[in-house]
Amino acid sequence: MPASYAGRSINRTLLVPDRRFAGRQDRRPVHSATTARPGIAEPVLAGIVTALVGFTSSFAVVLAGLRATGATPEQAASGLLALTAVVGLGIVLLALRYRIPVTLSWSTPGAALLAGAAIPEGGWPAAVGAFAATGVLIALTGVVPALGRLVASIPRHLAQAMLAGVLLPLCLAPFQSLGTIPLLVLPVILVWLAASAVTPRWAVPLALAAALAVIGVQFALNGTVIAAGTLAPSLSVTVPVLEPAAVIGIALPLYVVTMASQNLPGVAVLSSFGYRAPWRSSLAVTGVGTAVVAPFGGHAVNLAALSAALAAGDGAGPDRDRRWIAALTAGIAYLVLAGASGALVVIVGAAPAGLVEAVAGLALISTMAAAVTASFSDPGGRMSGAVTFLLAASGLSILGIGGAFWALVGGLLVRSALERRPARP
């Protein structure tokens, strides 16, 4: 999620479909193009960039989150493959149906939340059951407006404080690794810093490329050989188990952080470029998609914010009526990347301990900075924001329920007890 939208207030009316448009969706953006129709080279290139940036900047976070909740390397690889394929298929479906540059992604904040959690009671099958429950909640939000209003009623600074606390341990990983594998991590950090100054969009992908180069050098020095047969992608099926503690401790926080940090900003980003997001259809596709990929290890699919800006902005060409081609291209590119996911997982799994975690931490620093800023932006809510942030960062677990849930509960209690809202005139 881009920093510029992470802390922005979302108009709650976006959660309630405008009845004037009931039963139909605009196929054209709010403002029609005024320029002559150029070729498709620009939107196609923008779509490829959208997929490459979206995939390479956060797939390491997804793997870390799945492994933290009990997945084996094979199950984590299966989850990444399933997520990538469903994201690609969902983008293609929505782009062809509505002819607007709507893009999807997996929930990076949700994966970060999982990475900071413990293996739930019931193990990996219980985590898979929580992922499926999250998909059901997302889909229901599209047909039950009260659910959307309930999410929007959670104070924005508390949702951001929960996210910031979850991200803190992950963002410390690059600097902690400097003490254990400095010669391996330092080049990656330097590449990330240099790219952030020159081309921020590509900072994380270039840092990943540097990490892969370091891994390649290590393989050469150690004589490591990877069998070609292990590089092919494969799916692993797990029967979901609905464990109450996992539903409360994983599904509910995952649903809240995905809606508040991905779906709502995704609508806002599209709106800022003059496009009306197909709210109900998007939640149906992402909710059903999440439920479908859950048995294969996928955690959550949602509207994209950063990808939406890449595909809907000026970089996708001057003709705004044709920017949907960028989304269509991004969906096809995701399907191609799904085929390469198996090789990436094998290479990452053989990397020195701490190196890939460092890349994941670098990928989340800007998101955490925006979340921290939003957490304490309200002078009257700083105490509840601080309590939420600290509880989420503490790794607290009570009754098998992780700290993200208790952080939100604690923040709401402190807000109710100590922070009085100003009286309305």
* pLDDT, tens digit (0-9, with 9 covering 90-100), for 145-155: 888 788 778 88
Residues 6+ away with beta carbon under 8 Å from 79:
62, 66, 71, 293, 296, 297, 298, 299
pLDDT at residue number 22: 38
Q: Point out the least confidently predicted range of 30-39, 152-161, 201-210, 214-223.
A: 30-39
Q: Say how many C-beta atoms besides its own lie within 10 A of residue 146's C-beta.
A: 10
- Strands of 79-179, DSSP E: 104-106
**Can you tell me the distance from the alpha carbon of 125 to that of 380, in angstroms, rounded to the nearest whole number?**
42
pLDDT at residue number 254: 94
Token pair for residue 349? 């799994």
Residue 117 in contact with residue 70, Cβ under 8 Å? no
β-strands 104-106, 301-303 pairing: antiparallel
**Can you tell me the distance from the alpha carbon of 231 to that of 234, in angstroms, rounded to the nearest whole number?**
9
Question: What is the number of H-type helices and E-type strands within the chain?
Answer: 19, 2
3-state SS assignment for residue 263: helix
Could you tell me the residue ranges of all domains in the chain?
41-370
In one-letter notation, the amino acid at residue 169 is P
**Can you tell me the distance from the alpha carbon of 262 to that of 306, in angstroms, rounded to the nearest whole number?**
9
Closest CA to 65 of 83, 53, 85: 83
Token pair for residue 392? 């989420």
Instruction: Quote the distance between the C-alpha of residue 141 and its chain's center.
Output: 18
* pLDDT, tens digit (0-9, with 9 covering 90-100), for 48-69: 989 988 898 888 899 989 999 9
pLDDT bin (cut points 50, 70, 90) of residue 5 is very low
pLDDT at residue number 32: 44
pLDDT at residue number 371: 86
Q: What is the CA radius of gyration of the chain?
A: 21
Token pair for residue 327? 């989304």
Token pair for residue 341? 């996911």
In this structure, what are the phi and psi dihedrals at residue 221, rounded to the nearest 5 degrees?
-70, -35
Residue 48 in contact with residue 301, Cβ under 8 Å? no
Is the pLDDT at 192 greater than 90? The verdict is yes
Q: Is the dihedral of CA 148, 154, 157, 163 positive or negative?
A: negative
